[in-house]
Amino acid sequence: MKILIVPNLRKDGAAGHTREVIRRFIELGCEVTLGEQFSYIFENSGARFGNYSTELSRADMIVAIGGDGTIIHSAKDAVTADKPILGVNLGRLGFLAQLELQDLGLLGEIVAGNYRTEERMMVKATRVLPDSRRERYYALNDIVLSKGALSRMVDLDVRCQNEMVGAFRADGLIFATPTGSTAYSMSAGGPIVDPAIDSIVMTPICPHALGSRPLIFAPEKVLSVNQRIVNYTDKLYMTIDGEQAVMINPEDKIEIKRSTRRVKLVALDRRNFYEILSDKLSSRG
- In the annotated binding site, the residues are 68-69, 73, 141-142, 152, 169, 171, 182-187
3-class DSSP state of 162: coil
Q: Does 91 bind its own copies (CB under 8 A)?
A: no
Q: Which residue lies nearer to its own copies by CB, 9 or 167?
A: 167
Q: Which residue lies nearer to its own copies by CB, 105 or 211?
A: 211
Q: Using CB under 8 A, which of 221, 253, 261, 262 touches its own copies?
A: 221
Q: Which residue lies nearer to its own copies by CB, 131 or 210?
A: 210
Q: Does 270 bind its own copies (CB under 8 A)?
A: no
Annotate 27-85 with DSSP letters as a single string. Answer: HTT-EEEEEGGGTTTTTTSS-EEE-HHHHHHH-SEEEEEESHHHHHHHHHHHHHTT--E
Q: Does 210 bind its own copies (CB under 8 A)?
A: yes
Q: Please state, in angstroms and rounded to a whole number, the distance separating the CA atoms of residues 275 and 163.
A: 39
Residues 6 or more apart whose CB falls under 8 angstroms from that of 143 comprise 123, 125, 137, 174, 175, 238, 239, 240, 254, 256
Contact set for its own copies, span 114-173 (CB under 8 A): 146-150, 152, 160, 163-167, 169-171
Q: Which stretch binds its own copies (CB under 8 A): 25-33, 38-46, 92-100, 237-245?
A: 237-245
- Positions marked active-site: 68
Q: Which stretch binds its own copies (CB under 8 A): 12-20, 32-40, 44-52, 208-216?
A: 208-216
3-class DSSP state of 283: helix
Q: Does 50 bind its own copies (CB under 8 A)?
A: no
Q: Using CB under 8 A, which of 109, 135, 194, 251 touches its own copies?
A: 194
Q: Please state, in angstroms and rounded to a whole number, the distance separating the CA atoms of residues 21 and 253.
A: 45
Q: Does 233 bind its own copies (CB under 8 A)?
A: no
Residues 6 or more apart whose CB falls under 8 angstroms from that of 163 comprise none
Q: Which stretch binds its own copies (CB under 8 A): 26-34, 97-105, 196-204, 254-262?
A: 196-204
Q: Please state, in angstroms and rounded to a whole number, the distance separating the CA atoms of residues 275 and 285.
A: 18
Q: Which residue lies nearer to its own copies by CB, 33 or 212?
A: 212
